[in-house]
Structure 1
Amino acid sequence: MAAQYRYQIGTKTYQFASLKEVMAKASPLRSGDQLAGVCAQSAEERVVAQMVLANLPLKVFLNEALIPYEKDEITRLIIDSHDKIAFAEIAHLTVGDFRNWLLQESTTSVELARVSPGITPEMAAAVSKIMRNQDLILVGKKCQVITAFRNTIGLPGRLSTRLQPNHPTDDLNGIAASIFDGLMYGNGDAVIGINPATDNVSQAIKLMKLMDEVIQHYEIPTQSCVLTHVTNTVEAIEKGAPVDLVFQSIGGTEATNQGFGINLNVISEAYDAALSLNRGSVGNNVMYFETGQGSALSANGHHDVDQQTCEVRAYALARRFKPLLVNTVVGFIGPEYLFDGKQITRAGLEDHFCGKLLGLPMGCDICYTNHAYADQNDMDNLLTLLGVAECSFIMGIPGSDDIMLNYQTTSFHDALYARQVLGHKAAPEFEAWLQKMQIAGHNGQSLLNDRLSPHFTKPLGLISEAI
């Protein structure tokens, strides 16, 4: 066993068998790692693992794969796509030195963007494990990742939202009502995205046409997405459907993605198909990915790697396809993986930091299930912290309650709160549209006070005619 994984305190010696074990035991406590049996057995062991991790050179992650190269296509992607030139600037650092470099005032968004292709997911996960929440917020804010399709996401001082008008029966008038409600509160610049209750190609196309009709009629500078399986979206493209973004849930191991019914080749086919449509007006970022800590363990595809590191490995797949949006659905899988508000908050900040550090436009579904030890006050706290960290986008749902997926998240009003208290605005093209439609003033604040915009004339009638 390697001496670099050994640490002595007085007469007691801690010995870790591998880099994988050091990573797992250095991770802040969470229920998923307890369930997997990979976490530290005491606070002392956790601190020792963090000290061992801090002293490791970043180069060790290029020499010791947590999941063998020959057994996992995500490992192969990470190793084969590693940018050695970008890494050279930080190649001499240990994990602890890397943390210090990230926190230096002289390390700006320019330096972070320059080294980003040289940072592997495991390096990002490792440094996050020895950082406080404030460290994650500070560096997350410094990382600027800008993407575009019909508007521009991720500019400094901007906070976008996904308008999520889900309905338990996919009732089109119910969905339309939620869309217009969200638009009146300035939501929807990241995407208008529907999780279909009935997940098949014909239903997906019906929902795509509904959203496209609204976007085209009102000339809204935003994009739509039906969160169906990627193969359904490819089939919809082949049938001539108005597809803006291609969605897929992804994981950080090949086995996890097999559980989702995908691999790199499947995603590549969809990516090429979406690019061929050329529907973007200001950019061509066409992919939307969702992730979440615990997905690898729930699929029995974690290879005894801690859940946070598995999560960050998913970001390697995401950045391969230059997405418009990446969303960690942080508390959605349940308390078996993130037990309470404290664990959900830490995971949300970790995911945002690691994703941005790797060059991804990270958003967060700030959420919890009803059997978790969390409440809306916990979500208010995480929303505020992520807003300070300049998270790219959050969710906007009527009343914070998704009546189709049965979980609690952030509302249209929550987005207004975050923008008002932090001085953030919507994406610039969308902000101009809100002003044009007399929904928002030039200061970005709502003008409507629960009344309908005079430009939304008989909106539900329009949708009924369209379908």
Structure 2
Amino acid sequence: MAAYSVSIGSIRHRFADLKTLLAAASPPRSGDELAGITARSAEERVAARIVLADLPLTTFLEDLVIPYEDDEITRLIVDDRDAGAFGSVAAMTVGELREWLLDDATTGEMIAALARGLMPEMAAAVSKLMRNQDLVLAARKIRVVTAFRNTLGLPGRFSTRLQPNHPRDDALGIAASTVDGILMGAGDAVIGINPVSENVGTTGDLLRLLDDIREGLSIPTQTCVLAHATTTLDLVRRGAPVDLCFQSIAGTEGTNRGFGIDLALLREAQDATMSLTRGTVGQDCMYFETGQGSCLSADSHHGVDQQTLEARAYGVARHFRPLLVNSVVGFIGPEYLYDGKQITRAALEDHFCGKLLGLPMGLDICYTNHAEADGDDMDAALTMTALAGVNFIMGVPGADDVMLGYQSTSFHDALYVRETLSLAPAPEFEQWLTEQGLWRDGKSVEPEGLTLPDRMLALANGHG
């Protein structure tokens, strides 16, 4: 472990180790301030970025932000790295990697070939040297394609998770929100419910509700109830119609243990879900959610900045080759991302780092009601991340989740992105929408009559 330093004028700035350097180089955010690890001044932040830009990438192989023997996530990151893929950039510094990523001659295919050679900490480091527009430009080159009942992440495509949450897990309320979303072209990434209860019986009932609607209308998408992985394992054993296994994950072993998981449990859950072979065009069956600040809130951050820890969570996700990864950007609260500016920056960082590491990144562009943010901030974040090529966003009725009590993006927001940027849903889902009279000439259209909504609600009535 080495110390790093640089002089600016007569002042010598010293950083005790790599994690201290990375924290000081980070853009300001309230979580790092709360942890007491942020740069003490704007000059110190610039000094840290100067040092970081000249730092050889090979440094990250030697100066681990969390020791190998102390943390199974570090061990996974080190052991999973593809040394051959890393060879193309092994002689570069962090600053040279930034220039290479932004170079017009560097293609998305070239970046994709590098993905498994990079450690997450390298991705975090290079993002700290980038302006927002750099994060858009580099991420825009990268496509990560996954498949289950439809194909997600293709060029010219933009998908949504239809999120029909209900404060009482009421079947008809969930069905009504699902109808609302489907009629506006939402739901190709997944129709996914955050359940109020972790009860296995209730979770199973919600799964069967969604599966009956999906199967009864032959919708080419996947469904998920976002219960804990242990609940999903129990449901698989009981023969429930499980498409995807969901789990929140983080970048340290301690935080994941706080979530009630470890890597062994995730492997078991993945194997069980894959064994059902319910996919039709692919078998990518894992769905992960992450968020900057989770390790700090669990007091398991090891003095590492929250954005670097978020990138380490992507090292976990990458190992399991998921269908979907979703950074729930502003959900943890203003203690970690204070305002719209910090939330937008985090969204762009998360999307870029995830894509650079080979992940199918989506974003829940959101804020809690006590954050210094509003709908205009989310419009700006949505537009920039859509330009950056985000795989999917949330579709919440009216952008207001009445169960979780936070503000997200709506079905209308997805329509705005698709129309403004001439993007379409996943191809299989687009064909189904066209057949149902909900998509024509590259746009979402209103249905003629109420046949489809009536059929959906009729299917839900059996669960009322």
**Which TM bucket (shorter chain)?**
over 0.9
Is the 1:184–1:453 contact (alpha carbons within 8 Å) kept by the matching residues of 2?
Answer: no
Residue aligned with 2:134, SS? helix
Is the 1:74–1:254 contact (alpha carbons within 8 Å) kept by the matching residues of 2?
Answer: yes
Structure 2 match to 1:30: 29
Alignment of 1:73-112 (within 5 A): 73-112=72-111
The CA RMSD over aligned residues, in Å, is 1.1
Quote how far apart the aligned CAs of 1:2 are. Answer: 3.8
Quote how far apart the aligned CAs of 1:452 are. Answer: 5.2
Is the 1:54–1:94 contact (alpha carbons within 8 Å) kept by the matching residues of 2?
Answer: yes
Quote how far apart the aligned CAs of 1:453 are. Answer: 5.0
Residue aligned with 2:13, SS? strand
Distance in 2 between residues matched to 1:452 and 1:225, nearest whole Å: 29
Code of the aligned partner of 2:59: V
Percentage of identical aligned residues: 60
Structure 1 match to 2:423: 424
Q: Which moved more, 1:180-189 or 1:452-461?
A: 452-461
Quote how far apart the aligned CAs of 1:458 are. Answer: 3.8
Matched, 1:462 2:454: no
Distance in 2 between residues matched to 1:100 and 1:271, nearest whole Å: 37
Code of the aligned partner of 1:28: P
Quote how far apart the aligned CAs of 1:352 are. Answer: 0.1
Q: 1:448 aligns with which of 431, 446, 449?
A: 446
Structure 2 match to 1:289: 288
For these two proteins, the number of residue pairs brought into alignment is 464
Structure 2 match to 1:313: 312
Alignment of 1:202-221 (within 5 A): 202-221=201-220
Residue aligned with 2:394, SS? strand
Alignment of 1:237-252 (within 5 A): 237-252=236-251
Give structure 1 stretches of 5+ with no counterpart. Answer: none
Distance in 2 between residues matched to 1:233 and 1:249, nearest whole Å: 13
Moved segments of 4+, more than 6 Å: none
Matched, 1:330 2:329: yes
Distance in 2 between residues matched to 1:99 and 1:117, nearest whole Å: 17
Quote how far apart the aligned CAs of 1:440 are. Answer: 1.1
Quote how far apart the aligned CAs of 1:92 are. Answer: 0.3
Quote how far apart the aligned CAs of 1:198 are. Answer: 1.4
Structure 2 match to 1:230: 229
Matched, 1:438 2:421: no
Quote how far apart the aligned CAs of 1:466 are. Answer: 5.1
Residue aligned with 2:327, SS? strand
Is the 1:438–1:453 contact (alpha carbons within 8 Å) kept by the matching residues of 2?
Answer: no
Structure 2 match to 1:196: 195
Is the 1:370–1:408 contact (alpha carbons within 8 Å) kept by the matching residues of 2?
Answer: yes
Distance in 2 between residues matched to 1:145 and 1:459, nearest whole Å: 32
Distance in 1 between residues matched to 2:373 and 2:453, nearest whole Å: 38
Is the 2:66–2:74 contact (alpha carbons within 8 Å) kept by the matching residues of 1?
Answer: yes
| CA shift digits 1:21-67 (9 cap, x unpaired) | 00000000000000000000111100100110010000000111100
| CA shift digits 1:118-175 (9 cap, x unpaired) | 0110000000000010110011111110000000000011110000000000010000
Quote how far apart the aligned CAs of 1:388 are. Answer: 0.4
Distance in 2 between residues matched to 1:103 and 1:209, nearest whole Å: 46
Residue aligned with 2:89, SS? coil
Code of the aligned partner of 2:446: L
Distance in 1 between residues matched to 2:189 and 2:459, nearest whole Å: 23
Is the 1:439–1:453 contact (alpha carbons within 8 Å) kept by the matching residues of 2?
Answer: no
Quote how far apart the aligned CAs of 1:455 are. Answer: 3.7
TM-score, normalising length: structure 2: 0.99
